[in-house]
């Protein structure tokens, strides 16, 4: 069952004062996110990621289409009790301390004061805010505000968390902490929807991703599925193979790279079937060290999708085209 | 109701650490400077001038807070994007508007109450230090309880102005909102003149327009009893009650309009 679902979600703005012209921030976006997934919503700057999140939070209203969270329309108060949201570059009340801010939000979910304080303290520990929790937020750095922002998104133990660029403003340790936090959320059964243009984060965390370009869904699927379409062959590492045996082999290796210690990295083209080559090499005295598929990275796939969209070409690969469903 | 109270509490907590301090410090300075200077310069009028000054300062400082912070209630939240986290919680937009309004309303009422107390402290000092014979020249006693009526209506006026500022800020820019709120304040103090403009001008159209404006604008003149209180003119309970009720109705209408406008606004 999809816990997040959009259907033909479209948002147009009027731009220009004297002669307003419609600008399509989002066009016909259809996708779904399943229970317990870590879903990466990727795209270059200005692609429509934040617009989508704002539509899901009903901070803006769609021109057409619809969106549901947990089987109910977005904006339903019963839904908001079960979700958490971190906005991009969040900002909170300067004069409140981190503790007070979290208590304030906790009480909106019906927490009693003592329970709210306990929860605030636990979450601030979890995001790495120490004694600074008693300082007013005006004294916080961008990274610390981001950590507080993540804590406030979790104040109600949400079933679904929406994080807009959660790594923004964080130092390497902060990024690692947030990655670990997202994985802990996943392990608890929480669905995490996060937007990012940092592909390494998505690659490390996501079970599935969607790529949005110029307001349209360009592709979606699991990272394995998406990058498998750009498999570039195999890398076979062997040892104990003589130069003669290597020369006489009929493997059709693309490249042969000596690795030292008598080992060689052999690159096989995608058309080669490794199961046929390996017995021959073993007969020639080789020991198989490893065999790995050579795949395009998510970055390669992402760049191809963005370029295709910019050239107004339909992508030639990808699990799901412009209309995607989970 | 709970969400409204929590949002209001948040506004009060946030504002009490910043906004109210400026108003009160400024007010206290004006009051103290006036007390010591005027005691030297005037004979028999000192208490009256202190009352005038205290009430006027309270009104002006309150107006400043009501206009600027009333407009900031929504625009600051939207511009700084702090509203995003709040509206993603189980809080409706109407609860947000009403909670924000009530939070600033409580701040203003506390502000006026503190200023009332400060003025009474200064007046108590004069009462204590003035010889018995000199007190006979006073139109009203220094510690006149009627001052509370003037302060109460100042608070009511500030609540109306805050609602105007909040309403205007839901759809116009901060600068325009300030200008329009100040315009409403000024026009509101010339309500009777607008109503009877036909006595002064010949144009029926202009008089009709003026009368229309009179019915749309809040009648703030009714809420201004400062001069009456200082000059010991009685202010009836009926006047107080009617003024408070009509102001409450006006505030309720403005809050309803604000929530309707804000309900479908895109928070870009």
Q: Per-residue pLDDT tens for A42-67?
A: 988 888 999 999 999 999 999 999 99
Nearest to A323 by CA among A32, A91, A25: A32
Residues A280 and A266: beta-carbon distance below 8 Å: no
Which pTM does this prediction carry? 0.82
Element (H, E) at B137: none
Q: Report DSSP state, residue B92.
A: -
To the nearest whole Å, the CA of A22 is away from the closest chain B CA by: 15
Rounded CA-CA distance A77/B154 in Å is: 38
Say how far apart CA A3 and CA A69 lie, in whole Å: 5
Residues A53 and A168 in one domain: yes
Q: A150 lies in a domain?
A: no
From CA A193, how far away is CA A2, in angstroms rounded?
12
Given an 8 Å threshold on Cβ–Cβ distance, is A108 in contact with B264? Answer: no
Decide if A66 is inside a domain.
yes
* CA separation for the pair B119, B98 (Å, rounded): 31
Q: Does the residue A68 lie in any domain?
A: yes
What is this model's ipTM?
Answer: 0.82
A57–B85: do the CB atoms touch at under 8 Å? no
- Give the separation between CA A107 and CA A167, rounded to whole angstroms: 27
Residue to mutate among B79, B86, B88, with most A CBs inside 10 A, is B88
Determine how β-strand A21-34 pairs with β-strand A216-221.
unpaired
Q: What is the rounded CA–CA span in Å between residue B247 and residue B156?
A: 7
**Helix ranges, chain A (H):** 49-56, 77-80, 98-108, 113-126, 142-153, 172-187, 199-205, 223-228, 243-248, 274-283, 298-310
- Nearest residue of A to residue B1 by CA position? A108
Instruction: Report the CATH number that the domain containing residue A289 is assigned in CATH.
Output: 3.30.70
Q: pLDDT per residue over A231-258, tens digit each?
A: 678 888 999 888 777 777 766 788 888 8
Q: Tell me the pLDDT tens digit for each residue of A141-176.
A: 999 999 999 999 999 999 999 999 998 888 888 889
At which of A185, A205, A227 does a domain end? A227
Question: Minimal Cα–Cα distance from B229 to chain A, Å?
Answer: 38
Q: Which residues of A are less than 8 Å from B89 in CB distance?
A: 80, 105, 108-109, 156
- The burial class, CB within 10 Å (0-12 / 13-18 / 19+), for A316 is exposed
Among B150, B135, B194, smallest CA distance to B51 is for B150
List the alpha helices (DSSP H) in chain B. 2-16, 19-41, 46-80, 82-87, 93-129, 147-169, 174-188, 191-195, 204-216, 226-230, 237-263
Name the residue ranges covered by the structural domains of chain B. 2-189+224-263
Determine, yes or no, domain membership for A110: no
Q: Do B10 and A104 touch (CB under 8 A)?
A: yes
Please give the tally of structural domains in chain A. 2
Q: Which residue range is the domain that position A19 belongs to? A: 2-82+158-227
Using the Cβ of A204 and the Cβ atoms of chain B, whether some distance falls under 8 Å is answered with: no
Domain CATH for A39: 3.40.50.300
Minimal C-alpha gap between B147 and chain A (Å): 34
- Is residue A241 included in any domain, yes or no? yes
Cα A221 vs. chain centroid, distance in angstroms?
A: 11
User: For residue A78, what is the nearest residue in chain B, using CA coordinates?
Assistant: B90
Which of B2, B14, B88 lies closest to A80 in CB terms? B88
Q: Chain B residue with minimal CA distance to A154?
A: B89
The SS3 of residue A150 is helix
Among residues A190, A206, A227, the one where a domain terminates is: A227
Query: Would you call B221 exposed, middle or buried from its count of C-beta atoms within 10 A (0-12, 13-18, 19+)?
Result: middle
Final residue in a domain of this structure, among A227, A255, A282: A227
Per-residue pLDDT of chain B in tens (268 residues, 90 and over written 9): 889 999 999 888 888 776 566 666 676 667 766 766 776 676 667 788 888 888 888 888 889 889 988 898 889 889 988 999 999 999 999 999 999 999 999 988 988 898 888 888 888 887 887 777 777 777 778 788 889 999 999 999 999 999 999 999 999 999 999 999 999 999 999 877 887 887 888 888 888 888 888 888 898 988 999 889 888 888 899 999 999 999 999 999 999 999 999 998 998 8
Residue A61 in 3-state DSSP?
Answer: coil
Residue of A nearest to B18 (CA): A95
Please choose, from the candidates A220, A218, A203, A205, the residue with its C-alpha nearest in 3D space to the C-alpha of residue A296.
Answer: A203
In angstroms, the CA A274 to CA A233 distance is 10
Backbone torsions φ then ψ of A244, nearest 5 degrees:
-65, -50
């Amino acid at each position: 069952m999809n816990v997040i679902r959009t259907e033909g979600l479209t948002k147009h703005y009027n731009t220009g004062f004297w002669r307003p012209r419609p600008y399509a921030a989002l066009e016909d976006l259809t996708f779904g996110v399943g229970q317990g997934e870590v879903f990466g919503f990727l795209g270059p700057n200005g692609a429509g990621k934040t617009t989508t999140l704002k539509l899901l939070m009903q901070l803006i209203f769609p021109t057409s289409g619809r969106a549901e969270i947990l089987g109910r329309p977005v904006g339903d108060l019963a839904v908001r009790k079960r979700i958490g949201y971190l906005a991009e570059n969040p900002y909170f009340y300067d004069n409140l301390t981190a503790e007070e801010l979290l208590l304030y939000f906790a009480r909106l979910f019906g927490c009693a004061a003592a329970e709210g304080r306990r929860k605030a303290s636990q979450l601030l520990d979890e995001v790495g805010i120490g004694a600074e929790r008693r300082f007013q937020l005006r004294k916080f750095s961008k990274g610390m505000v981001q950590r507080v922002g993540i804590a406030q998104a979790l104040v109600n133990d949400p079933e679904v968390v929406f994080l807009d660029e959660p790594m923004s403003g964080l130092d390497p340790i902060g990024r690692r902490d947030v990655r670990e936090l997202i994985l802990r959320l996943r392990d608890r059964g929480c669905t995490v929807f996060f937007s990012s243009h940092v592909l390494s984060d998505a690659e490390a965390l996501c079970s599935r991703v969607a790529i949005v370009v110029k307001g349209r869904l360009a592709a979606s699927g699991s990272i394995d599925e998406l990058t498998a379409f750009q498999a570039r062959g195999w890398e076979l590492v062997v040892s104990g193979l003589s130069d003669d045996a290597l020369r006489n082999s009929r493997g059709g290796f693309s490249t042969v790279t000596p690795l030292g210690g008598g080992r060689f990295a052999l690159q096989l083209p995608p058309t080669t079937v490794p199961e046929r080559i390996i017995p021959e090499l073993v007969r020639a005295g080789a020991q198989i060290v490893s065999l790995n598929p050579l795949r395009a990275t998510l970055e390669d796939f992402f760049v191809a999708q963005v370029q295709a969209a910019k050239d107004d070409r339909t992508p030639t690969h990808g699990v799901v085209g412009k209309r995607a469903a989970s | 109701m709970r969400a409204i109270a929590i949002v209001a509490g948040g506004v009060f907590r946030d504002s009490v650490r910043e906004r109210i301090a400026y108003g009160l410090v400024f007010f206290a300075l004006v009051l103290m400077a006036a007390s010591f200077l005027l005691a030297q310069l005037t004979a028999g009028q000192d208490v009256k001038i202190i009352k005038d000054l205290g009430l006027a300062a309270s009104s002006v400082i309150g107006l400043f807070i009501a206009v600027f912070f009333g407009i900031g209630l929504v625009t600051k939240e939207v511009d700084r994007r702090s509203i995003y986290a709040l509206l993603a919680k189980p809080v409706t937009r109407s609860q947000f508007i009403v909670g924000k309004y009530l939070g600033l309303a409580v701040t203003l009422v506390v502000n006026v109450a503190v200023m009332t107390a400060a003025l009474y402290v200064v007046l108590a000092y004069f009462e204590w230090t003035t010889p018995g014979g000199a007190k006979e020249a006073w139109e009203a006693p220094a510690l006149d309880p009627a001052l509370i009526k003037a302060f109460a209506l100042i608070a009511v006026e500030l609540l109306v102005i805050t609602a105007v500022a909040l309403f205007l800020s839901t759809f116009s820019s901060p600068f325009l909102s300030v200008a329009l709120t100040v315009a409403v304040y000024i026009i509101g103090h010339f309500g009777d003149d607008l109503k009877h403009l036909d006595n002064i001008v010949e144009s029926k159209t202009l008089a009709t327009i003026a009368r229309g404006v009179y019915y749309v604008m809040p009648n703030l003149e009714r809420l201004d009893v400062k001069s009456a209180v200082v000059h010991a003119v009685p202010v009836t309970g009926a006047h107080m009650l009617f003024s408070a009720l009509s102001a409450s109705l006006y505030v309720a209408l403005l809050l309803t309009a604000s929530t309707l406008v804000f309900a479908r606004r895109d928070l870009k």
